[in-house]
Amino acid sequence: MVEESLPRFLLFEMADPGELFRLASMLPAPFVNYSEEDGVLFLSLGGLGGVVSVYFVRLRERLSARFAHVNKLRGTYQLGDEASMEPNVVNVEILRVRRHSLKLFD
């Protein structure tokens, strides 16, 4: 009988939201999750052997924007409610999560 193993999580707390947005901008479908209840932005990426890497940042203020516009040339970002059509900008969608089961804090 083969025992199914649960995924293992590696947690990475990022220095600031810009780091997380720049990481997400490299994905084929760029997005981050936002838990308003916890005040946390996070991104989870599945890997080999059932290991899931979770990158997160704790926010000091409530986030109301729907997108982070990441300028790939400058390495900067701006928040907005509509997608940007500017060249060299990747729109990272901010998805609101009502509930999650990640244990991000001790």
Per-residue pLDDT of 14-50, as tens digits, reads 999 999 999 999 999 999 999 998 899 999 998 777 8
- Cβ(43)–Cβ(55) below 8 Å: yes
In a domain, 16, yes or no: yes
CB neighbourhood size of 39 (10 A): 14
Domain count, the chain: 1
Give the HSE-up count for residue 40: Cα atoms under 13 Å, Cβ half-sphere: 21
Looking at the whole model, is its pTM more than 0.75? yes
Residues in the chain: 106
Whether residue 36 lies inside any domain: the answer is yes
| Residue 73: inside a domain | yes
- Work out the mean pLDDT of the chain and round it to a whole number: 89
* 8 A C-beta contact, residue 13 and residue 56: yes
Owning domain of residue 63: 8-96
Asked if the structure places residue 105 within a domain, the reply is no
- Report if residue 102 sits inside a domain: no
Q: Is residue 101 part of a domain?
A: no
Structural domain contains residue 103: no
**With bands split at pLDDT 50, 70 and 90, how would you rate the model's confidence at 5?**
low
Q: Tell me, what's the pLDDT at 99?
A: 81
